[in-house]
Amino acid sequence: MLHPVSPSSRRRSVAAGSVLALAALGLNSPAHAVSYGTPTITLSAAYLSGAVGATGDPVVTVNVAQSGADASALGVAASTSSRSAVAGTGDVTVSGTGGTRQLTVAARGRGYTDLTIKVSGLGGLSATKTLHFAASAAVQGAADTRYFTGSADASAAVDVGGGYAVVADDESNTLRLYSRSASGAPVKTWDFSSQLGVSKEIDIEGAARVGNTVYWTGSLGNNKDGEYKSARDTVFTTTVTGSGAGTQLALGRSYKKLRDDLVAWDTGNGNRYGFAAGTAAGQAPKQIDGFNVEGFEFAPGSTTTAYIGFRAPLVPPQAGGKALIVPVTNIDKVLGSGTRAVFGTPIELDLGGLSIRDIRKNTADQYLIVAGSWAADDNSDPYALYAWDGVAGHAPVKRADLPTSDPGGWEAVVDVPDLSQPGARAQLITDDGSADLYGDGTEAKDLTHPEWKKSRATWFTVTG
């Protein structure tokens, strides 16, 4: 017997059958919740240095990710600061999208703070990293100042084109390649100590470039305690390939008798400059009658005669004395084959009672001389910048008194612009090794973290 089925029952039966069929095919099931992993965050540097009022402070790269999420959906910001008077969360700027962001910090005050950098992911999940930030005080000419981090004792520099320079440090033997327009860590580093056969610091103080060869010289003097250290009597060359950020250096030749040659030459000429006494055991180098080399550059039109510029002695060794340059007339052979140095007629320059801290020229044989005190504790003593034509008997002309109220002593000029053009600018670098940058009584050279060590590079207008 057939039983009639109502239209509504028929519809329910068809619907139920359809659901069962879809279920059998795995379709029309309730959606599963997306599972997100814990976000990850890494910083390119855990320690960062800035300066109050600075331009172009260092940048930290922040990499973030989260499984199950597009990196562009993640938020990155500073969530806490241990000392907002140095830098608060609002002073941290994060730019960029995706998995790689750029972070900068604008310092409010001198000192230290720990900044918590937080990545906020999907699903309410997050992760943090700590950025240890140190801020130095504002300086004169802040808009024209950059900071080269990684060391605090910059002592010599050479331009390698493309807006980059190789900078030496008198507390280590490492040569560092920096962008001249941005603050931050070196792009590349080179340490030729093992190849040079030295284990102690060379005390690199001077440099000069001829073609693709850069000459570097140690101070040649005793250490601060008056002890002879053979590594300091090192002159060496490096060969440059490439330029800018692509610069490469290879070790050339070295010579370790220039100090001996200078002493023998002076002794043979009546001890005119007291080199034997200045290098004697117990004699500190940075005395008015001491022996300490800080400048190195080539004579006008020459690739074989080098000017050796002395921080000490003054001539005569008394207040108001003149700065001393001794020409080495065969420096190419000295480094090329180990030939003993031959010296030309010495040059005495009136730098207002100051001595040579660096000397640099351009291809037109226009020179700039950084002049400062012979003394060891001279960061507040006068500094001046002089122009010169490199000719013995021609007087240098003061172009500027350099500021001394900020930490550090002026040590190097990177290159020389065309001094015949108005508004020409030169970049000078300080040695900040003895400076208390962050107000805690620690000298910069003794700071624990290389990222907090830095030297200051400032552009000055040197022509009217």
Distances (CA, A) of 416 to 209, 367, 421: 13, 7, 12
Q: Would 24 be classed as within a structural domain? A: no
CB 201 within 8 A of CB 170: yes
Count CB neighbours of 15 within 10 A: 10
pLDDT at 11: 40
pLDDT at 463: 95
Asked if residue 195 and residue 132 are part of one domain, the reply reads no
Distance CA 158, CA 298 (A): 13
Cis preceding-peptide flag for 316 (omega within 30 of 0): yes
Asked if residue 262 and residue 372 are part of one domain, the reply reads yes
Asked if residue 359 and residue 227 are part of one domain, the reply reads yes
What is the value of pTM for the model shown? 0.91
Positions of the chain with pLDDT under 70: 1-33, 378
Domain boundary among 112, 136, 160: 136
Distance CA 194, CA 345 (A): 36
Residues in the chain: 464
Q: Would 446 be classed as within a structural domain? A: yes
pLDDT at 34: 77
Domain boundary among 102, 136, 170: 136
pLDDT at 28: 46
pLDDT at 33: 58
Asked if residue 378 and residue 252 are part of one domain, the reply reads yes
Please report, for the domain that includes residue 108, its CATH number: 2.60.40.10
pLDDT at 378: 62
Please report, for the domain that includes residue 417, its CATH number: 2.120.10
